Structure 1
Amino acid sequence: MTVTVSGGRLTRVTLATATGTAVAGTLAPGGTSWSATGRLAYGTAYTLSALATNADGKPVRKRATFTTVKPSNYTLPYLQRTGGFALHNGATYGVGIVPVVHFDEHIADRAAAEQALVVTTSPHVDGSWYWVDDQNVHWRPESYYVPGTRVTVAARVYGVRVGSGLYGQADRTASFTIGAKHVAVADDRTHTVRVYFGDKLVRTMPTSMGQGGYVQGRNGSISLWTMSGTYTVLDHGNPVTMSSDSYGLPANSPYGYGAESVYYATKISTDGIYLHELDTTVWAQGHQDVSHGCLNLNQSNAQWYYDSSRIGDVVQVVHTTGPRIELWQNGDWSVPWSTWQRHSALH
């Protein structure tokens, strides 16, 4: 809210509720205008009083009253990263990190919501939002971040109408830093995972990936492939309890297995693909694919990757057959840039 004057000078402006709670504001140099710097509340009556002097030095007073909108519903934004994990303020992430804004209500006016979402980077990098559905929108640049980049994600939705009677409940902001460039390339032709730090090969790890094909589960067909495409590190667990029942394949079926603790597990897909220790398949690692989709490693390699990788590091899976990773599985970087841009509400 602003107050302006011509042919005179503002000397005092007050904006307050009926109970006397004032909204902070600032007079411009020379008294040509006044701008509210404080936040107005929803569904509240305000009185604005302004005092100015005209060209003759005589006082001129203006007074106005108004009431702000009272929304029928609110939506709160949550700053996350892919996989539904919280985006932590002050954290350091890998060069492939993808910030996500999750709204707790369905957004009818995506364009209005997107205009209130601001990503600031230093050094500057252009990026675009991708609406996965009417509650979740992802942001990424065309290429991986440069290490050392400072990123701030701000959802400035308070006061913004994003649907019929639906307004932003509160603003949210988080800042993070991009760490060193770590890229792992899992090649199914050589049955190895080559890990590069800053484009320099630092470790080659024999692996056994998904054996391929499909099996029938409780809710339909289940893939046993390790899908080609670009993933990022989502999480670490040591141990992680795994069972085929968790993805709909009964433990007593021919390809099923019961709950077991799996160590040094680095998660890279939302539907449960990990790089993890499995010494019982060392005989196949580097030679043959025998897993249900995960990348099996020996204990030494699994522990090293677990310890040296960070959230947002890139994992590229190449030369496998079967389907490619999709966005909902953590395949944001597998979406072509031109396609990604078309999913912005402002495209």
Structure 2
Amino acid sequence: MAPRRFRSRVAIGSFVAMILVTAACSSTPTPDPLPGKPAPPPAVLTVTPATGAQQVNPAEPVTVRTSGGILTDITLTDDEGRIIPGTLNPDKTAWTPNERLGYGRTYTVAANGLSVTGPTGPVSSTFTTVTPGNQTRVTLTTTDGQPLADGATYGVGAIVAAHFDEDIPDRAAAEKRLVVTTNPPVEGVWYWMDNRNAHWRPREYHRPGTTVTVAANIYGAELGPGLFGQDDAHTSFGIGPAHVSIADDNTKQIEVYENGQLVRTMPTSMGRGGSTNVGGRTISFWTQPGVYTVLGKANPVIMDSSTYGLPVKSSLGYKETIGWATRISTDGIFVHALDSTVWAQGSSNVSHGCLNLSTDNASWFFDFSQLGDVVEVRNTGADPLEVWQNGDWGVPWEQWVAGSALYRAP
């Protein structure tokens, strides 16, 4: 990805300083220092970075300071002649730019000041920022790649995913820049799925009412040889009521709980079991046991068996318009309406893997569900849900911790 430079057209004016000198308000000359008492030292202006600095991180602060008196006149100019706006602190002893610098640019700072001993400066510094060999962008999403909506409400099983658009050679450097803050505080850890994707979750489900704030502060960070972060990213969301649904194959029922209270019981028909081989690929018809979360909803949705390798015209193939579909896995498991299987719901499994409900129950569940709600599937005969299928909560905590590039258990 090509390096990016930052430009704007905002100019900063000069600051006209006021200095309180008693002699300016009186015709009496300022007395000489008392015998044996040295005159105050002249103020010193300093600029950071120092002149001649190379490979400067553009995310690091640029500052102008004076050791006495005030700053009166500061300009920061890039190599195209654009003046970068900045702000003085309240006592006018320090100045910083209002915007971050760009990669691969040369900047010049010029400054003047005024103290009781008279004008100070001028001082200047010319420095150059680092030029990345490559840059990577990060997006903050759910486990299926949908952006986490700022200010939204998610369920107690919500997972934070950080997706980089380049392989990350230094996972530890990247993870240091991925900051999750919760209120109330909880213990949480990042788990690297691969070189581009890291997921974060707490040890236990979130508590209702929790606020989760995520910041990916990667701009200016070197995440591998010559690879720098392109932009920061951040989002904040809330956790809603605790919706936990338990689908038990022993009873063929889904029990739906809100904040620990049973609110509805729904007969269901899950995956019929077994598998078929198509073109050397094994296609399973089980509903895998594990802890799923709600990833999305659609009404209706077109379900097409050819999307996972089962031809529509085969004896087990299908292409149907299905209503009230609540998706719970990345590979196409839904809780949805199918009145043609009401006869089996509560007594036998006849689906290809989804959880079938009556239209009445499916529409209720659709309306009740929020993204991030928990759906636990128990006692089916399949292998457990895998982490890539939206099975983050099925990974034991010790294994989850081991997937971090930084975390060390206390």
CA-CA distance at 1:213 after TM superposition = 2.1
What's the counterpart of residue 336 of structure 1?
396
1:54–1:60 CA contact under 8 A, matched in 2: no
2:183–2:212 CA contact under 8 A, matched in 1: yes
What's the counterpart of residue 192 of structure 1?
253
Gaps of 5+ in 2: 1-60
What's the counterpart of residue 321 of structure 1?
381
d(CA) in 2 for partners of 1:40 and 1:7? 25
d(CA) in 2 for partners of 1:251 and 1:6? 76
1:23–1:39 CA contact under 8 A, matched in 2: no
Distance 1:214 1:175, change over 3 A: same
What's the counterpart of residue 124 of structure 1?
185
Distance 1:244 1:58, change over 3 A: closer
Between 1:146-155 and 1:6-15, the stretch displaced more is 6-15
1:251–1:258 CA contact under 8 A, matched in 2: yes
CA-CA distance at 1:235 after TM superposition = 0.8
**Whose strand fraction is larger, Structure 1's or Structure 2's?**
1
What's the counterpart of residue 49 of structure 1?
110
d(CA) in 2 for partners of 1:19 and 1:283? 74
Letter in 1 for 2:322: V
What's the counterpart of residue 141 of structure 1?
202
Q: Show CA shifts across 1:154-185 (max 9, x none).
A: 22222222223222222222221111111100
Distance 1:215 1:44, change over 3 A: same
TM-score normalised by length of structure 1: 0.92
CA-CA distance at 1:148 after TM superposition = 1.7
d(CA) in 2 for partners of 1:258 and 1:333? 31
d(CA) in 2 for partners of 1:59 and 1:299? 80
Q: Show CA shifts across 1:75-109 (max 9, x none).
A: 11122111111211221111111121111122222
What's the counterpart of residue 359 of structure 2?
299
Q: For 2:309, which of 244, 248, 262 is the aligned residue?
A: 248
Q: Show CA shifts across 1:28-74 (max 9, x none).
A: 56666544442001111101234456896662443221111222322
> Matched residue of 2:363: which SS?
helix
Aligned residues: 346
Letter in 2 for 1:277: A
What's the counterpart of residue 264 of structure 1?
324
d(CA) in 1 for partners of 2:204 and 2:70? 51
Task: Output aligned runs, 1:199-214, within 5 Å.
Answer: 199-214=260-275
Q: For 1:174, which of 235, 239, 242 is the aligned residue?
A: 235
Q: For 1:99, which of 160, 163, 178 is the aligned residue?
A: 160
Tell me the percent identity: 51
Letter in 2 for 1:105: E
d(CA) in 2 for partners of 1:6 and 1:158? 29
What's the counterpart of residue 280 of structure 1?
340
Letter in 2 for 1:93: Y
Distance 1:32 1:346, change over 3 A: farther
